[in-house]
Structure 1
Amino acid sequence: MTIIAAADGSALGNPGPAGWAWYVDDDCWHAGGWKESTNNRGELMAVLDLLNSTAQADEDLKVFCDSKYVINALTKWMPGWKRKGWKKADGKDVLNKDLLEQLDSALKGRDVEFEWVKGHSNHAMNEAADDRARAAATAYQRNTRVPTGPGYVPAGTSQSIMADSPVEASAVDSASEALTAVAPAAASTTLVSCRVPTHIADELVSRAQTQGIHPQEFLAEIIGRSLENE
């Protein structure tokens, strides 16, 4: 059996508030995004999340995609980039290297067919993915709840499967994303959350990365020291 899906990205400004989504049917789809990113990163992330979400399905995968950049990157250009250490002809890193490396790993051992479809041409699955990617981008723009969807629901079941990918600092597109990505839980801890001004979030993430720890761990240390000094 083959899983048939559509994957799409959206950016309101490019760069700007951005979203990504993949769609199998109304009961099987997933979406997300960032406060600021690009359309191409959204397109790539949609495919990456689809691959990760279906990794345990043991089925072939067919992906409708309206991005020739994504299809060419994954089916034509990637071998050459890898041979050159993910470098372009000018010696600079290829764009979106972090996502492309993860996609390269996620594609190993998978039988995946990509088919290009023209965007906004009434292709039902592509339109459904586009609608959800744009809705995610709009939610980030308006600072409202992001409609993420049920995730991957294997045919004939009602249990969804969400992609379980580690959060890498290089893959985080904004300070808010880094702060809201949940750090591994330590023993006897409680997860709390709060809103902070953007400039403070930026500084927290920068200092945490300097120390090589998760932003939440760094914030917990600051709170702990502050309470001890009271």
Structure 2
Amino acid sequence: MPTDSEADPAAAALVAIWTDGGCKPNPGPGGWAAILQFGDIEREMTGFEPVTTNNRMELTAAAAALEALKRPCKVALHTDSEYVRNGITRWHTGWVRKNWRNAAGDPVANMDLWKRLLDAAKPHTIEWKWVRGHAGDIMNERADVLATRARQQTA
């Protein structure tokens, strides 16, 4: 991924990221994956949790991918999770304003991971792109395979 030693940082156009996460059953053992592309450089990341939820794995994938970037970047992050995309682009401002309470006044679910994701996103300029899962997007399908493999290897 991008480093400070690149000859022309202004030419560093875009880091493309695809993320996925899931569990089976939900809740249960879960896996997450991220694929990061910067020019000709590509990195795959995966992880596992023994007891978790689909939403936690989706959030973890996005946060881990952004945390892997070594300097502020322009990012196109692709996710098939409407929960992640809506939370980061619409809902989080209200949660923060209400001291991490949802519309019903209850604590926001997965608050620890939402805070982690917001912190990881701060240095970057991110376009959050939703892609339909299991609909033929090659990179989304690849992230799904990696997340499933991560879940199955250690389940």
TM-score range, shorter chain: 0.7 to 0.9
Residue 133 of structure 1 corresponds to which residue in structure 2?
Answer: 147
State the match for 2:118 in structure 1.
Answer: 104
Separation in structure 1 between the aligned mates of residue 102 and residue 42 of structure 2, nearest angstrom:
40
- SS of 1:30 mapped into structure 2: strand
Structure 2 length normalisation: TM-score? 0.86
**What SS does the corresponding residue of 1:89 show, helix, strand or coil?**
coil
Unaligned runs of 5+ in 2: 1-12
Offset at 1:27? 4.4
- Cα contact 2:73–2:123 (8 A) shared by 1: no
1:100-179 alignment, distance < 5 Å = 100-141=114-155
1:14–1:37: 8 Å Cα contact kept in structure 2?
A: yes
AA partner of residue 69 (structure 1): Y
Structure with the larger RCO, 1 or 2 (CA within 8 Å, 6+ apart): 2
Provide the C-alpha distance between the structure 1 equivalents of 2:123 and 2:18, rounded to a whole number of angstroms: 20
Offset at residue 62 of structure 1 (A): 0.5
Partners in 1 of 2:67 and 2:36 — Cα distance? 14
Inter-partner Cα distance in structure 2 for 1:29 and 1:101: 23
What 5-or-longer segments of structure 1 have no aligned partner? 142-230
- State the Cα distance separating 1:90 from its structure 2 match: 2.5
- Report the secondary structure of 2:123's partner residue: coil
The separation in 1 between residues aligned to 2:42 and 2:18, in whole angstroms, is 14
Residue 34 (structure 1) aligned with residue 49 (structure 2): yes
The structural deviation recorded for 1:14 is 0.6
**CA RMSD, 1 decimal:** 1.4
Could you tell me how far 1:70 is from its partner in structure 2? 0.4
Please tell me whether residue 16 in structure 1 is matched to residue 28 in structure 2: yes
> TM-score w.r.t. structure 1 length?
0.58
Matches of 2:95 and 2:42, distance apart in 1: 37
Give yes or no for the alignment of 1:52 onto 2:64. no
Aligned match of 1:70: 84
Could you list the structure 1 runs, at least 4 aligned residues long, displaced by more than 2 angstroms after superposition.
Answer: 24-27
CA displacement, residues 85-124 of structure 1 (integer Å, 9 cap, x when unaligned): 1111222111100000111112213101111111011111
**Count of residue correspondences:** 140
What is the CA–CA distance in structure 2 between the aligned matches of 1:108 and 1:59, rounded to whole Å? 10
| In 2: Cα distance, 1:27 partner to 1:113 partner | 19
Corresponding residue for 1:5?
17
**Alpha-carbon displacement from aligned partner over 1:181-225 (angstroms, at most 9, x marks no partner):** xxxxxxxxxxxxxxxxxxxxxxxxxxxxxxxxxxxxxxxxxxxxx
Decide which structure has the larger Cα Rg and report it: 1
Percent identical among aligned pairs is 36
**Equivalent pair of 1:18/1:140 in contact (CA under 8 Å):** no
**Helix, strand or coil for the counterpart of 1:13?**
coil
